[in-house]
Amino acid sequence: MSATPRMPAIFFGHGSPMNALEDNRYTRVWESFATRFARPKAILAVSAHWTTHGTAVSAMSAPKTIHDFGGFPQALFDVRYPAPGDPALAARVAQLLAPLTPTPVQLDQSWGLDHGTWSVLLKTYPDASIPVVQLSVDMNEPPAYHFALGQRLATLRDEGVMIIASGNVVHNLRTMDPRSTGYDWAHRFNDAIRDSIVQGKFEQVVNYLALGQDAKLSVPTSEHFLPLLYVLGARLNDERTEIVAEGMELGSISMMSVVLGGGS
């Protein structure tokens, strides 16, 4: 019997929900993962769009598709991603994280799959047949805590579970400008985080606030940045870390995507 292949850990710079419907240089990278990596038994997703006080994991057998946005075409609201859930995986996640979480991990029956998850999986696994479980982002806790949770979850990658996280390294909606190729502060911050990732200096990513004003402008709120720390925390040994997509949209939205391992 062949061993279960080690699954990658992937951070998607997800950008606009419209990427779910569009064909562009970012979505084509996402599409390539289906053939680049072995098919996972299940997917554990950490999305910028499920923030909580305390930690929760979706534990239903049939998660709903959540359209948590406004002002987009009806075609986007019509999208469904009917992937099954995996209550057993949810329980396994809760077990792994229990030593670190200040309160018990909630086995949630009400959330589902938000657009941070389904907009990227719609491109990667459009048949929606792989079970998906979402893990919430506890906004009460500091960056190092989220990195530590990623470390606890790393073992799942040898159990056939792909770990994905979805957000944006730079995410400032108030400064978006369709005429801009990227503010200087956005490029400086993005480049500093990119260099730290490539060099394996993950502690510098965890301590991103040390980048001062560039960090304050690039990460005015942390929910889109923190998912990256789960993926970096899930690194096993000294495996390869690869930047697979880059770009600055609307001046202040980084589309950087990162892959760890997975036989790449």
Are 143 and 226 a contacting pair, CB within 8 Å?
Answer: yes
Asked whether residue 2 is domain-assigned, the answer is no
Asked whether residue 230 is domain-assigned, the answer is yes
Asked whether residue 34 is domain-assigned, the answer is yes
Are 21 and 75 a contacting pair, CB within 8 Å?
Answer: yes
Q: Which of 123, 150, 120 is nearest to 135 (CA)?
A: 150
What is the count of structural domains for the chain? Answer: 1
Asked whether residue 1 is domain-assigned, the answer is no
Over residues 165-196, the pLDDT tens digits come to 999 999 999 999 999 999 999 999 999 999 99
At 1 the pLDDT is 44
Asked whether residue 4 is domain-assigned, the answer is no
Asked whether residue 217 is domain-assigned, the answer is yes
In this predicted structure, the answer to whether residue 264 has a pLDDT above a threshold of 60 is no
Answer yes or no: pTM beyond 0.95: yes
Q: What is the CATH number of the domain that holds 72?
A: 3.40.830.10
The residues pairing with 244 across neighbouring beta strands, listed in sequence order, are none
Residue 117 structural domain: 9-260
Asked whether residue 202 is domain-assigned, the answer is yes
